[in-house]
Structure 1
Amino acid sequence: MPTFIEKPTIVEAAGNLPKVIREYVGAVNTGTRGLSIAHMSSPGGWAEPGQRPEFDEYTIVLRGAVLVEHEGGTLEVGAGQAVRTAAGEWVRYSTPGPDGADYVSVCLPGFTPDTVHRDA
């Protein structure tokens, strides 16, 4: 039988400016640990600390652009594009453009504060 998810839970975000994380599926909203799905809205100039997570992350940009720094360089992922980052890989996300970005993040296994391993 299908499970209806009526609404997301707003989750606190890391970073220098307020970012809205709407978790639809994950540890907080549905108790799901194997997968997380969230819609992010970040303002222009937002950046978060680097991280070396224990999960693969798939990011689909809906509006604006997301900058993805990694040990081999930097990728700019624009609206209609996507990127995958692998578990154990160092990455840092930001939205330096003036209009920020909206994007969907899917993590396997699901995101938790204990498995993201943010830079100190």
Structure 2
Amino acid sequence: MSSSKKFLIQKSPFVVPTTDGKLIEEHFGNATDGNTEISIAHMIAPPHWEEPFQTPEFDEYTYIIKGKKQITIDNEKVVLAAGESIKILKGTRIQYANPFNEACEYIAICTPAFSLDTVHREDE
């Protein structure tokens, strides 16, 4: 990470270890720089991937760069395509998935920052 008094350039994001084939590169947030106010991550979800349902204590913004991503929000399925974005309010029960045949690349921003203690995944 390069820094000066006025800015900070992230060149070495923290790669979150996963077991489901998903790439998570946190550029800023709890794991990278201890920032608890916001987290910004670059992600690639492989084809036919899904996470368990969760009810996070943070707002999450998602911007799709390539491919498509399916989000189940309170039992309603929403599909986002490249160039689209969504804001999901904290306290909403959601499930992220990529049931499609191509990888989905996207940026996720969480406020406050993502934390395993505040995501409340249903299988944990």
Relative to the length of structure 2, the TM-score reads: 0.91
Letter of the structure 1 residue corresponding to residue 71 of structure 2: V
Where has structure 1 moved over 6 Å in runs of 4 or more? none
Aligned to 1:85: 88
**RMSD across aligned positions (CA):** 1.1
Larger Rg: 2
1:9 counterpart letter in structure 2: F
Partner Cα separation in structure 2 for residue 5 and residue 30 of structure 1:
10
Amino acid at match of 1:30: D
- Select which of 9, 12, 17 maps to 1:12: 17
Instruction: Report the secondary structure of 1:106's partner residue.
Output: strand
State the alpha-carbon separation in 1 of the partners of residues 97 and 18 from structure 2. Answer: 12
Identity %: 33
Displacement of 1:4 after TM fit? 2.2
> Which amino acid is 2:87 matched to?
R
Gaps of 5+ in 2: 1-5
Question: Deviation of residue 30 (structure 1)?
Answer: 1.1
Q: List alignment gaps of at least 5 residues for structure 1.
A: none
Match of 2:67 in 1: 64
1:97 aligned residue: 100
Q: C-alpha displacement at 1:5, in angstroms?
A: 1.8
